[in-house]
Amino acid sequence: MTKRDKVVIALGGNAIQAGDGTAEAQQQAIRKTVTLIVEIIKLGYQVVITHGNGPQVGNILLQQTIAGTKGIPPMALDTCGAMSQGMIGYWMEKEIDDLLREQGIEKGVVSIVTRTEVDPNDPAFTNPTKPIGPFYTEEEAIAKMQQTGSTYVEDAGRGWRRVVPSPMPIDIIEHGIIGKLADSDQIVICAGGGGIPVYKENHKFIGVEAVIDKDFSSEKLAELIDADTLLILTGVDHVYIHYNQPNEEALNYVSIEDLKKYIKQGYFAQGSMLPKVEAGITFAESKAGRTSIITSLDKALEALLGEAGTVIKK
């Protein structure tokens, strides 16, 4: 490892959400998270942090729904995504800055509200699948579909929820400034929740109601800023095949060919481990020398040092 090694750290929801979901509980969870990240920073890595926002943007959407019943105009999903980026970015920025100051480390940290470009012709727009927001009864959901034209589906017996498209990212609009900040050894927090989905029309970017998978947007960002490592943090120490079965097997150093074979065999769950594995493969294939690692938050430092996690290399 040299001082120039650049790592994009993609944090899962467990790195932020904890306890009862209050601001205080979430900030406590973030402080634990960034304590581990600061240990990585101290080793000389150039660090760019991305993060999820599912529970947070869900709460914001619920607040908007309640506000709408009281005559206060609710905000659209893209704006709610921006709200969540600002909130989580502030919490994370504050905790990292505090820890750096406590340890006498002079390094800047900045949070960037980030837009992610998507293709308006992406097939996902004709097949919305990503559940967001509060639960409704079937009658309420039908009424909302008639009123708004949005799509609602029954969600695992818990009620009906709105579903929105989840298109693939084609660009991270702010990647240039993010890359320059990382290259100047500043810590950057960005692309929260996969970034705010936008599409280009007549030289303008227009926000769209969609949710981008944070692992795919983190991969796209890692490519665009020429990172050396994409570190995807989740709730388990490794990628597994036969997960939670008697013949469960942890994957340590694994070839791209084997991973593609395991995908075809259906070993990785949709919406859970599968996008992480797919993002890891894409980054490792994108340029010689790039490495993807999938592991838990607690094993992040060990994984970067080659002592834990699932490592994917070309």
d(CA 210, CA 150): 12
Whether this prediction's pTM lies above 0.95 is answered by: no
d(CA 280, CA 221): 13
Q: pLDDT band for position 29 (50/70/90)? A: confident
Please give the pLDDT value at position 209.
92
Please give the pLDDT value at position 50.
97
Does residue 1 register a pLDDT over 60? no
Mean pLDDT for the stretch of residues 6-16: 87
Give residue-wise pLDDT tens across range 126-178: 999 888 877 889 999 999 899 888 899 988 788 898 899 999 999 999 999 99
- Is 14 a catalytic site residue? yes
Give residue-wise pLDDT tens across range 104-123: 999 999 999 999 999 999 99
Mean pLDDT for the stretch of residues 83-109: 94
Q: pLDDT band for position 67 (50/70/90)? A: confident
Give residue-wise pLDDT tens across range 209-263: 999 999 999 999 999 999 999 999 998 999 999 998 999 999 999 999 999 999 9
Q: Which of 208, 235, 58, 195 is nearest to 132 (CA)?
A: 58
- Is 53 a catalytic site residue? no
Which of 276, 280, 299, 309 is catalytic? The answer is 276
Residue 293 has a CB neighbour count (10 Å cut-off) of: 24
Domain map (residue ranges) of the chain: 6-118+170-313, 128-164
- Is 276 a catalytic site residue? yes
- Residue 103: which residues within 8 A CB-CB, separation 6 or more? 38, 42
Which of 14, 59, 159, 313 is catalytic? The answer is 14
**Average pLDDT taken over every residue of the chain:** 91
- Is 130 a catalytic site residue? yes
For the domain made up of 6-118+170-313, the CATH class stated in words is: alpha beta
Which of 6, 214, 220, 299 is catalytic? The answer is 214
Q: Which of 196, 284, 188, 268 is nearest to 234 (CA)?
A: 268
Mean pLDDT for the stretch of residues 49-67: 84
Please give the pLDDT value at position 144.
87
Please give the pLDDT value at position 15.
76
- Is 94 a catalytic site residue? no
d(CA 62, CA 80): 10
Please give the pLDDT value at position 2.
47
Does residue 14 register a pLDDT over 60? yes
Which of 12, 58, 130, 280 is catalytic? The answer is 130
Residue with tokens 């791209």: 256
Contact yes or no for 48/7 (Cβ under 8 A): yes
Contact yes or no for 289/228 (Cβ under 8 A): yes
